[in-house]
Amino acid sequence: MINPIFEQVKSIISPVYLVGGSVRDLILNTKPKDYDFTTSLLPNDIEAKIKLSGKRAFITGKRFGTIGTKINGQLVEITTFRTEQYKEGNRTYEQLIKEAEELDNKLKELYETSPLPKHPPVNKIDKLIIDITEEFLKIKEPND
């Protein structure tokens, strides 16, 4: 099944790719709280296409390359492809390292205290196929 939010975004912005936590949420079969996309279009082009479609463009994150809108009541953010660079000694770099260490420690704690099995049965994982297409990320059984 193709995600209707993705289909509507794709009808406004192309090329466009679903990224971030919404991918994880859809894999886990939970409803994302928001949808993040990325594209090669520049922020002004994203904004213009959103407005041309009759939707309101949120430009709060425009200086970072992100334009938002709402589709079916869901927040959607579309960001121009980018890279981020951090230099050692820079406050941002130091904060990034600290946050990464904190996240790593939190994930270890969650893993250690989780009631879920520590290692999923290998035969189940081996039989899954991850199919990444431009339309959507799908996980399916090999004979689907």
User: Is 37 a residue whose pLDDT tops 80?
Assistant: yes
Nearest to 77 by CA among 1, 17, 4: 17
Q: What integer pLDDT is reported at residue 50 of this predicted model?
A: 97
Q: Where are the alpha helices (DSSP H) in 1-117?
A: 4-12, 21-27, 43-52, 91-113
Residues 9 and 68 sit within 8 Å (Cβ to Cβ): no
Q: What integer pLDDT is reported at residue 76 of this predicted model?
A: 95
CA 92 centroid distance within chain = 22
Q: In what order do the strands lie in the sheet with 66-71?
A: 17-19, 34-39, 74-80, 66-71
And the tokens for 85?
Answer: 């660079």
Q: What integer pLDDT is reported at residue 1 of this predicted model?
A: 45
User: Is 131 a residue whose pLDDT tops 50?
Assistant: no
User: Is 46 a residue whose pLDDT tops 70?
Assistant: yes
Nearest to 140 by CA among 131, 132, 41: 131
Helix (H) or strand (E) holding 131: strand 129-132
User: CATH topology for 4-82+124-140?
Assistant: Beta Polymerase; domain 2 (3.30.460)
Contacts of 11 (CB under 8 A, 6+ apart): 53
Give this prediction's pTM: 0.59
- Domain coordinates of the chain in residue numbers? 4-82+124-140
Q: What integer pLDDT is reported at residue 67 of this predicted model?
A: 97
Q: Residue 59 and residue 144: Cα distance in Å, rounded?
A: 41
